[in-house]
Amino acid sequence: MKTQIIKKKKHTGRRIVLLNNEVKRDTLLKTARNASVRLAHFNDYMEKPEKFSMAYKEGDGIYFENLNVAVLNYNKEEELDYMKKGANQKEILITEPERYVYKIDHHDYVKGYRDGINAFYENYNRKEGGSYPYDQQIHEISEKFIDDELSSWGIKAVKVLESPYTGKNINIAVLDTGLYKTHIDLKGRNIITRSFFSSGSLGDADGHGSHCVGIACGFNDKAGMRYGVAMNSNIYCGKVLDDQGEGTDGSILAGIEWAIKNKCSVISMSLGAPCDADDPFSQTFENVAKRAMKLGNLIVAAAGNESFRPDVISPVGHPANCPSIMATGAVDSNLNIAWFSCAGLNRNGGQVDLVAPGVSVYSMINKQNEHEKWDGTSMATPFVSGIAALYLEQNPDATPLEVWSMLTQNAMRLNLSSIDGGSGLVQAPLA
């Protein structure tokens, strides 16, 4: 996969405000007015969410009522302090800096390095006629699970072909770079898309979102090769990252609020921001995930691709490091941990919950009748999201927490440490 290397900015300058779950809308808006803060309500933008960023230009911020979170504009520290002092019911719990977030990708130069090493191994064996020490391991990796005319290797590994469930009538929200919804593989499907950007393409200029939708919700290609999990699910795709694969915490929150409004039982997010060792998880996103669970929505997110194993192993990124968000790592076709997959290194949250196929994963892209094989925990995440929909079809009255338990309890145990593989490889429900 060819990607543009993005210089990753960290903070936007805005503040995320976590509100007390018991706060009433009218009380909050009154407190804001008393502090000379003009807060817009996200409901005002529900029909045209691409306009929601106008709240920062025409006012001082935006309020997400279902999430009990507000995002305040730049240079509003004094007003925010006044709001805290004037809140007589402890409306404001904490504030955090708003982060930039990105599609979960590894960079071209890293992939090029890996490909160069593989080419060296192959060239060595061809010229010398010898057997390089790693040659047998590489050979075995190529044979554990393989793509064939029937299905992709990932579909085999997670036992989708053995499951009688298809995600029928389950709403899955994929929050990403958008969707190329006229792809031939999606013909006849129930699809709702929304963009949270007032500029750029309305679809998917990057291809990342389309690839993830194909894995979670797709079916097969024109030749009949199965690569998608929940083939009869209802597809909701929110464009929360722009055409360069960049967004903010605010755009993610807007996408989650939209998904909750549309009763999406599963929210899949192959996006985030890298974390350093011992970085705390976001209390705001943890609270959002708990709120979502109470409202019937399970959030699944990519653990991150910042590792360069075996020399560098990086911690799970934001927001997947929140305990109430299901963090997904990646394995290769031999069920070894992927060289780029992040690990559960931080003591205070940030564990990997499950792993799924994430190396050389076949899916649709943002071109008519075209497909590619991509790598990343981004590809692993929609496998888990699609399979969560299968469990919901099997158990229609299950709560998000119960679905979480089904996913982890039925996972295939692997020869991996828990910090790398969590509970194991996600598995589809059987009859």
Residues serving a catalytic function are: 176, 208, 378
Contact 280, 365 (CB under 8 A): no
Distance separating alpha carbons of residues 252 and 238, to the nearest angstrom: 9
Long-range contacts of 35-40 (CB under 8 A, 24+ apart): 35/79, 35/80, 35/82, 35/83, 35/86, 36/79, 36/82, 37/61, 37/72, 37/76, 37/79, 37/80, 37/83, 39/63, 39/70
430/385 Cα distance (integer angstroms) = 17
What separation in angstroms does the CA of 203 have from each of 141, 210, 214? 36, 9, 15
The tokens describing 34, both together, are 């008393």
Closest by CA to 238, choosing from 258, 263, 264, 218, is 258
- The angle, 0 to 180 degrees and rounded to 10, between the axes of the packed helices 108-128 and 135-144 is 110
Alpha carbon distance 36, 98 (integer Å):
21
Side chain identity, residue 306: E
List strand residue ranges (DSSP E) for 229-319, in order: 234-239, 246-248, 266-269, 271-272, 298-302
Query: Distance between CA 220 and CA 229 in Å, rounded?
Result: 9
Using DSSP, how many helices (H) and how many strands (E) does the chain show? Answer: 12, 16
Helix, strand, coil percentages (3-state) for the chain, rounded to 5, are: 35, 20, 45
Residue count (the chain): 431
CA distance 355 to 380: 7
Which are the contacts of 370, defined by CB distance < 8 A and separation ≥ 6? 364
Dihedral angle of Cα 146, 147, 148, 154, to the nearest 10 degrees? 100
User: How far lies 139's CA from each of 95, 115, 145, 156, 338, in Å?
Assistant: 51, 15, 12, 19, 16
What is the sign of the dihedral through the CA atoms of 394, 396, 397 and 398?
positive
334: exposed, middle or buried (C-beta count within 10 Å: 0-12, 13-18, 19+)? middle
